[in-house]
Structure 1
């Protein structure tokens, strides 16, 4: 991966970077309140904490996006000022954010040499650019033509291109923010192999994850942040329940606290749903009081079915019935009026109006119903929003706070909350806890319990198999656009689900 000479200059265990007493405040929020962090060559240092604990602010200071109000950063024992991305790059610090820093319209090779392309006689040397890109891609073990526009790549390959870009900068410190959030199990294994190789080559890796089971597998040390402070540094082998207790400041008895409710009448019935080339002959029902999980590999058609059921996309055949009412195709308003709600996997892009405040977002679904003679009942809307915000425990300065300033977990509560304001009877949750810390996850799971106990129905799509097994009553498994099996959650293992998820579907029209 890296030359042996450079590897030798990075003796394992040598301190590369130290942050001391970092403080950073924003209006109404003290994001960091005295954070310390030490990074050593040849280690994977896991950064753990709830949403809003200060992880993002810390890595933005190290990458030059923010400047601290107090404290200092030392590299190789010398105080440094990181005023921007250029300073971070010169110091050997590279960051891979959840939202990739790639230009979709440019090729892989152009992205890898962005801002510093090889030149010959004053012109960009495209042949050498492609050769350099091929060498970098080979290091990370990804088979992709460097002439391919990045926008055509899948998420996993984009992730590898980002790592290759960091290697091009000869990063000494590589910060990875939720790198496994959208990867399949096989893709995660490939990523971990690359991370281990980088560690062996002397790179110091900061690894941020909400998947606690990954920590012991990939980490060496863990620094835990809580409320803007570094509260503990522990070995990566620390038991999960201890990590959770330190992270949230309270014990959590059950990570998946499903409380089964009695099954009632079918609230959602889907029959023969088909969209040529996407999904084929999908049929299922969800009854009052139950959580039905939907599992499957990326590309199995889970999200596409959910969007069709909700009316966001049309379909070619089949029918959707909610509480006895057949819904017209492609009609979101009809779905909402029937009592159907959708929490999309892309909460920022599809679930929220980021420039609006919390109260406005919570009232989005009911605004039409609250309008009389062209005027919106804003007082009634705010009252309902305040009640739901209190019920969900949304951490905020008030309903007037912009939703974009909330942590990921609190943003997700707002997305779910607007359907509580609308009194939805059937809620489709698509990746409901992606990128959310364990404390916020448990709060959302408890909300799911409350919904089903009140006779509501939940259809939950998730790539997190422990979540599917822990929070479902029944599990539907999809493969290549087809529903290939149904399993009871009780007694089912991850291997049972995966055996169905990799099923080859005979005669499938879905490619």
Structure 2
């Protein structure tokens, strides 16, 4: 059976997002859907999952044309979706069994046979290879387990085609391997999978076919094996991606932020480091190493009992407001949950840290707010129909620019970026790198927390390797390799000794 989307058109006001897009996926295949942020992927997926209606075009499943005017109708047609923020698809205070079988229960009788319901949940979970106590609360499950629960939930509705939207972005390498095993199992059972990812190695490892969208049009449909990485990137960008120049590290000597035996509550460990003016200091660590915990402690979200020194002055940061006063700001990993107000317009998001300057006797000056938004939108190249567009309707890369942009004119001297390129495409990554470089040229200090080690070699001047909550090595980018960083970050050999994550840098 084949799912076909033919000549799909969608516009928002005067902005044409999809321009007669064609997309085809077969049952029993894994099909990659690629494109830079703003290419139209999210809109196409929303139409396919019934969250949005196309202006024109046709959707066929086999020989039958279908109308997917609501999520309910998409589900009835056999189409399921696993969104990037899986928590939004689950009820955290219900059990695993209740979540997996929620849709079957909702259409059943008022009487609940709990024994049968638990057995049904176990059967569905076995299909995705997840062995877990079905009486366990979903709030106690890991992110990887929650993903598998959502997939099992889709199987309970007899899913024929499953959309996975950036499913590996928050996962560790081990969790990604587990997900791929589930995907292969579903493929063998005849489910067609639409896999959205920006990671080409993953696409080569798991996908059969590839479709690339660019500027709202289908520009490439092919077997993955027939395309090189350069050809795929060229299709996404419309031009050959220029190789980023090998940079020389900035050698800076003026201390900006000094942490000496700084206590990180969530890690129950002390760390020490120095960030200089105009320096991009990369913090290299794999998932679970403690990057986010350090970032949150530094800005007072998880207050430390120890001070930090900023521009020679000691600060005890017990609250994010105190961090702002000290000149620290955080661009968090979960931008849709913590970086922006997803249901508010761009201009209101960008004005948040500036409200005190834009209000007089309790009244907000909307003209000032809109002037600021216009300047930031133009400066960062945020692609939107207007500064009043709702943040939810922006692509991931443009949402990230909003998350960064609100801090630009606050007087902040230290910018903390926690996994800033997570879930954004190649073009948007280059834009983020450019913003960071500009901040460094303004003598701002940047802490760049990432598990993308190749990115750290591109953007950083100096790298601290984080392992098990401790800095265990320091390298300038012209003195190390990707292989060495990976070895260090995974607890490998350093100077003939397997490090235990016990010392500070």
Contact 1:23 1:34 in 2 (8 A): yes
Q: Is structure 2 residue 147 aligned with structure 1 residue 159?
A: yes
Matched with 1:263 is: 252
Alpha-carbon distance between aligned partners in 1 of 2:67 and 2:452, rounded to the nearest angstrom: 40
Structure 1 residues 199-278: aligned runs within 5 Å: 199-237=187-225, 238-254=227-243, 260-276=249-265, 278=267
Contact 1:363 1:381 in 2 (8 A): yes
Contact 1:118 1:128 in 2 (8 A): no
Q: Is structure 2 residue 31 aligned with structure 1 residue 45?
A: yes
Q: CA deviation at 1:478?
A: 2.6
Q: Is structure 2 residue 293 aligned with structure 1 residue 304?
A: yes
Matched with 2:119 is: 131
CA deviation profile, 1:336-393 (whole Å, cap 9, x unmatched) = 2332221111212222233433233223223324556656665555444433321211
Q: Given the alignment, which residue of 333, 347, 367 partners 2:321?
A: 333
Matched with 1:64 is: 50
Q: CA deviation at 1:92?
A: 2.1
Q: Given the alignment, which residue of 345, 370, 373 partners 2:333?
A: 345
User: Residues 276 and 226 from structure 1, CA distance in 2 versus in 1: closer, same or farther, beyond 3 angstroms?
Assistant: closer
My pick for the range that moved more, 375-384 or 413-422, is: 375-384
TM-score calculated relative to the size of structure 2: 0.90
Contact 2:165 2:195 in 1 (8 A): yes
SS at match of 2:405: helix
User: Residues 351 and 121 from structure 1, CA distance in 2 versus in 1: closer, same or farther, beyond 3 angstroms?
Assistant: closer
Q: Given the alignment, which residue of 392, 395, 403 partners 1:404?
A: 392
Alpha-carbon distance between aligned partners in 1 of 2:267 and 2:377, rounded to the nearest angstrom: 37
Contact 1:264 1:455 in 2 (8 A): no
SS at match of 1:222: strand
User: Residues 495 and 134 from structure 1, CA distance in 2 versus in 1: closer, same or farther, beyond 3 angstroms?
Assistant: farther
Q: Given the alignment, which residue of 68, 78, 81 partners 1:92?
A: 78
Matched with 1:10 is: none
Alpha-carbon distance between aligned partners in 1 of 2:23 and 2:239, rounded to the nearest angstrom: 23
Alpha-carbon distance between aligned partners in 1 of 2:150 and 2:157, rounded to the nearest angstrom: 11
Matched with 2:496 is: none
Q: CA deviation at 1:136?
A: 2.3
SS at match of 2:104: coil
TM-score calculated relative to the size of structure 1: 0.89
User: Residues 356 and 91 from structure 1, CA distance in 2 versus in 1: closer, same or farther, beyond 3 angstroms?
Assistant: closer
Q: CA deviation at 1:507?
A: 7.6
Q: Give the alignment's Cα RMSD to 1 decimal.
A: 2.6
Matched with 2:495 is: none
Q: Is structure 2 residue 418 aligned with structure 1 residue 430?
A: yes
The runs of 5 or more residues in structure 1 that have no matched partner are: 1-14
SS at match of 1:230: strand
Q: CA deviation at 1:282?
A: 0.9
Matched with 1:25 is: 11
Alpha-carbon distance between aligned partners in 1 of 2:246 and 2:52, rounded to the nearest angstrom: 38
Contact 1:47 1:206 in 2 (8 A): yes
Structure 1 residues 390-401: aligned runs within 5 Å: 390-401=378-389
Q: CA deviation at 1:158?
A: 0.5
My pick for the range that moved more, 474-483 or 256-265, is: 256-265
Contact 1:55 1:225 in 2 (8 A): yes
Matched with 2:176 is: 188
User: Residues 135 and 453 from structure 1, CA distance in 2 versus in 1: closer, same or farther, beyond 3 angstroms?
Assistant: same
Q: Given the alignment, which residue of 281, 287, 292 partners 2:276?
A: 287
Matched with 2:160 is: 172
SS at match of 1:367: helix
User: Residues 220 and 69 from structure 1, CA distance in 2 versus in 1: closer, same or farther, beyond 3 angstroms?
Assistant: same
CA deviation profile, 1:159-211 (whole Å, cap 9, x unmatched) = 11112222333322111110101000111111112212222332211000012
SS at match of 1:365: helix
Q: Is structure 2 residue 433 aligned with structure 1 residue 445?
A: yes
Contact 2:286 2:489 in 1 (8 A): no
Alpha-carbon distance between aligned partners in 1 of 2:367 and 2:247, rounded to the nearest angstrom: 36
Contact 1:388 1:421 in 2 (8 A): no
User: Residues 397 and 173 from structure 1, CA distance in 2 versus in 1: closer, same or farther, beyond 3 angstroms?
Assistant: closer
User: Residues 199 and 77 from structure 1, CA distance in 2 versus in 1: closer, same or farther, beyond 3 angstroms?
Assistant: same
Contact 2:28 2:191 in 1 (8 A): yes
My pick for the range that moved more, 168-177 or 217-226, is: 168-177
Contact 2:49 2:81 in 1 (8 A): yes
CA deviation profile, 1:403-456 (whole Å, cap 9, x unmatched) = 333222111111111221224221100111111111111111111122223322
The runs of 5 or more residues in structure 2 that have no matched partner are: 493-498
Q: CA deviation at 1:494?
A: 4.6
SS at match of 1:83: coil
SS at match of 1:86: helix
Moved over 6 A (4+): 118-122
Alpha-carbon distance between aligned partners in 2 of 1:338 and 1:106, rounded to the nearest angstrom: 42
Q: CA deviation at 1:242?
A: 2.2
Alpha-carbon distance between aligned partners in 2 of 1:155 and 1:147, rounded to the nearest angstrom: 17
SS at match of 2:218: strand
SS at match of 1:35: strand
User: Residues 371 and 498 from structure 1, CA distance in 2 versus in 1: closer, same or farther, beyond 3 angstroms?
Assistant: farther
SS at match of 1:117: helix
